[in-house]
Structure 1
């Protein structure tokens, strides 16, 4: 992956040069440097994991939180970074009683 020196956007290859889709800047390709790059196209697809035999109590930690659907006070949770890196993580909850799913993020 190469980034534009002018605007910072990701560049794509076009023959012997890298081209920025944003500003049109071009840079010569360096095959020695590119040998260290990894292409996602070369990776194999991962297998689907069957979670049907896993007990709910074995899936993630739980916390005390009120389910907006049924009012139960326990839920499994996980945290994911879905916005930019300078924003806090989003918490995803699943009620241990009714299975309702919801999210909570800081505003």
Structure 2
């Protein structure tokens, strides 16, 4: 990726030249830049974390600082998701280990 020396905007390739997307300045392509690109392999499902409501919670982290709203049990599996903006705290989804009731908690 190259940036314009004049205005700092990103440049796009047009043949053997790089053209600024803002001020139309032009300069030769940087041959070293192409060697610096890194390609990644496609992600597989091996690292996928299932988090929908019907998902099995067995083996997930356990919270003992909660009380089930349905049966009063004091342990639940939990899963954390960022449901709001990045500057807001995440939401903790809990499932009672005793009765299976699921609820969410905002910190």
What TM-score, normalized to structure 1? 0.50
Q: Which has the larger radius of gyration?
A: 2
